[in-house]
Chains A and B, each alone.
Chain A
Amino acid sequence: MKTELDEAKKETAQCSCSEDEESLYSGLDVVIDGFIGVPGALIPVLQSTQNIFGYLPEKALKHISERMKIPYSEVTGVVTFYSYFSTVPRGKHIIRVCLGTSCYVRGGKEVLEAIQKKLSIPVGGTTVDKMFSLEVGRCFGACGLAPTISIDGEVYKRVKPTKIGEIIEPFYAEAEANAGADREEV
């Protein structure tokens, strides 16, 4: 079970857009089957679903509701309660700015503002080109390196508001290089 989930995680990390919808739903069915008869399975099923789709589409939630025989209202009730779940598609890279106390007193708020300005999106927003989503984190447990941000889980230490450009640029450069490689292949 675990290995299948890991595979699913890996696949979606690479590309969640071009994958055939049907295979995503059969992946979801594998997950649901693994939890038949297990009490309290809704949250782990939703976590796996989000790993498969990158977010929680309405259709997938209805599918879960039917297959697990849990009222749709209860499913959405749980989804909207927890901050980990998102019902809207997110960017390719997730930037999380730590606003734990240590990062906050060491200038995390200024870092957040600089990123908002740089990407022109609010907290919870996604850039028009779907490259970045911006979220606020509570504490990454790296208080010794405050202020910190994380991009796709990788923590950047002692971030300065004036250095945001240097952190973000490589992602665009990489996307550009990949696009170039794709064009060559075609």
Chain B
Amino acid sequence: MNNQLLKVGLGSCGIAAGAQDVYNYLSSDIDKNNYPGLDLGKTSCIGLCFAEPIVEFHEGDKRIVYGNVDIKLAEKILKGISTGVLPEENRILEEKGEGKRVAADDNIVKYTGRQVKLALKNCGIIDPESIEEYTARGGYKALEKAVNSMQMQEIIDVMKESGLKGRGGAGFLTGQKWEFLLRAKGDKKYLVCNADEGDPGAFMDRAILEGDPHVVIEGMIIAAKATGAYKGYIYCRAEYPLAVKRLHKAIADAKEKNFLGEKILGSDFSFDIIVKEGAGAFVCGEETALIMSIQGGRGMPNLRPPFPAESGIHQSPTNINNVETYANVPGIILNGPESFNKYKSGNSTGTKVFALAGKVKRVGLVEVPMGLTIREVVEEIGGGSSTGLPLKAVQMGGPAGGCIPESMFDTPINYDSINATGAIMGSGGLIVMDASSCMVDVARYFLQFTQNESCGKCTFCRIGTKRMLEILERITTGSGTIKDIDMLEELANHVRKTSLCGLGQLAPNPVLTTLKYFRDEYLAHVNDKKCPAGVCRSLIEIKIDPDKCTGCTLCARVCPVNAIAGERKMTHVIDSGICTRCGMCIQKCKFDAIYRI
């Protein structure tokens, strides 16, 4: 009998969807009843968030992937294993041996068809807590190559040739950054991995750290070998406990195998990595603020120059790269720069990981080659609108980024093209918005976020964003004037030009891009006192359609402020003076009789 294996996807996303319960069930049932030759394993995020929880069945080179697995289906799968007839339902992907791949579900064909997995090549495939599974897929081979047969400058030249740019958002050439550190004077040099992923709606780094921690560690060790750094820090946000736990385990395992620590692989090169947990401050994603935080103080940014490459942690030369950047390093070193730069668009090479979310059918973690258009990502991979309403825009780059309208969805994804729209590539948040999203409210949302996270050090960011937020609040509550829009634009430009760090300089982006592409929505708010998307509460009313209302009384019972009156089997009416526009009645109504205007 072939060895059989069941694997459960246990990333944060899967666990939230109930994968842990499924795993526990399988584990206890396998303990109780004997299944000869069956093993139970775990892996992390496979990127198919919309189909979680996911369970995979392996037998020899056959593989069946089940999606949306609950205890009932888990029971059927186990039963199928003992009878030899596995359930047909919920199969989302099948490999029938000899490399034949059949996607049982049309969703998956479209979802995976255009993707290229470089940074995510192991995510959702290996058990992230097993160094053996990582090395079995070529892990630490790149490190061996770098340590045994490459000079420092040689590694840097390969990185430069690959064209890899910092995936944290700024897009600076990684090889060049490493060269700065190599050339910097000082006997103690530091490396930092920025894993303080703070953009709301972005989870690329979490998925990599949880799914394949060794690839990040290997990337850092190679960077240390190339630059002469003696110590590295991984600065991970405290909200990612699972990532922190898996990093600790991976570091301990790597040390045991001598990939990390003293005299790595018998050479005279030594390097150590320490995990630092953040304490909840978005600005710490900015590199000078991050350094302050690693040193134990308030994470407030400093003026550059001096750049960290000259004076960083404890005034020593320091290089900072993001998680996805390091995750790309082992592949480039092992397979050569052309394995990466063969994907090319404009001035950008390789792939980019995106957290595709919002009003899109297939939500998940996707990795696409540079040059794919926004439309291909949103419509082909994401499956288009999840609500049936037309799509309006995508928001790229989080609070530092901007909104790109549907009319520009044919823009190819690369650093230059995205920057030209006014948005930024950012770290990879890609939120899709449909006709029910109010762009003024979106701008207000992001500004509230950056205003809240402004560290307060420089005046323009501290007060400028506050005043901008006040204007946006006036506009969204119906007391804005046309002058407010001009003032908003002027302030935005001042804040952008005069703030100390990236947080302040980029904070106006969501406002400036929505003003550029969705000015008509601003005008509707100030001139007509209307919110076209029906989001801004002061500008809408909730009404009951007398033709559709059956008088079931459900809405009246759910209304928290008793604003709905009406007898049973009679048309109900909302008292607009009392109604708080919470929309709970709309959700509850079974007859679609309640609507916003």
Contacts and interface: CB of A to CB of B under 8 A. Distances in A.
Contacts of A103: 201
A155 interface: yes
Given A40-B296, A101-B201, A106-B358, A144 B206 contact: no
A139 B203 contact: yes
B415 interface: no
Contacts of B295: 39-40
A2 to B, nearest CB: 8
Contact of A85 (B279, B314, B358, B359): B279
A114 interface: yes
* Dominant SS among interface residues on chain B: mixed
A106 B431 CA distance: 11
Interface in B349-366: 355, 357-359, 363-364
Nearest to B240: A141
Contact of B13 (A42, A82, A142, A161): A142
A113 B277 contact: no
Nearest to B295: A40
Contact of B584 (A78, A105, A145, A162): A162
Nearest to A117: B560
B50 A39 contact: no
A77 B238 CA distance: 19
B357 A43 contact: no
B379 interface: no
Contacts of A155: 12, 15-16
Contacts of B583: 110, 161
Given A42-B296, A138-B239, A157-B17, A143 B363 contact: yes
A25 interface: no
A139 B52 CA distance: 18
B181 interface: no
B452 to A, nearest CB: 9
Nearest to A46: B279
A172 interface: no
Contacts of A39: 295-296, 314
A145 B296 contact: no
A105 B300 CA distance: 30
B200 A101 contact: yes
Given A82-B281, A141-B206, A155-B12, A101 B296 contact: no
Contact of B558 (A99, A117, A162): A162
A102 B357 contact: yes
A137 B239 contact: yes
Interface in A91-114: 99-106, 110, 113-114
B85 interface: no
A6 to B, nearest CB: 10
A162 B202 CA distance: 27
Interface string A32-63: 00000001111110110000000000000000
Nearest to A41: B296
A78 B206 contact: no
Contact of A101 (B16, B239, B357): B357
Nearest to A156: B16
B129 to A, nearest CB: 16
A47 B238 contact: yes
Given A39-B295, A153-B241, A139 B17 contact: no
Contacts of B239: 137-140
Nearest to B537: A109
A103 to B, nearest CB: 8
Interface string A132-150: 0000011111111110100
Contact of A44 (B277, B442, B582): B277
B282 A143 contact: no
A140 B16 contact: yes
A83 to B, nearest CB: 4
Given A82-B279, A84-B280, A162 B587 contact: yes
Contact of B200 (A99, A113, A161): A99
B99 interface: no
B558 A104 contact: no
Given A102-B358, A105-B358, A105-B431, A139 B298 contact: no
Contacts of A40: 276, 294-296
B398 interface: yes
B564 interface: no
Interface string B200-222: 11110011000000000000000
Contacts of B12: 140-142, 155
Contact of A144 (B202, B298, B357, B560): B357
Q: Which of A2, A43, A74, A140 has the most chain B CB within a 10 Å cutoff?
A: A43
B16 to A, nearest CB: 4
Contacts of B398: 101
A85 B282 CA distance: 14
Contacts of B50: 144
Contacts of A99: 200
A10 interface: no
Contacts of A145: 13, 16-17, 49, 52
B328 interface: no
B198 interface: yes
Interface centre among A74, A82, A113, A160 (most CB of B within 10 A): A82
14 contacts: A39-B295, A47-B279, A81-B455, A84-B280, A102-B200, A104-B200, A106-B358, A114-B560, A114-B582, A138-B198, A143-B363, A144-B17, A153-B241, A161-B584
Given A141-B12, A145-B52, 6 more contacts: A41-B296, A46-B279, A101-B431, A114-B582, A141-B207, A144-B52
Interface of A: 2, 39-44, 46-47, 74, 77-78, 81-85, 99-106, 110, 113-114, 117, 137-146, 148, 153, 155-157, 160-162
The 5 closest A-B pairs by CB, nearest first: A144-B49, A101-B201, A141-B203, A155-B16, A82-B279
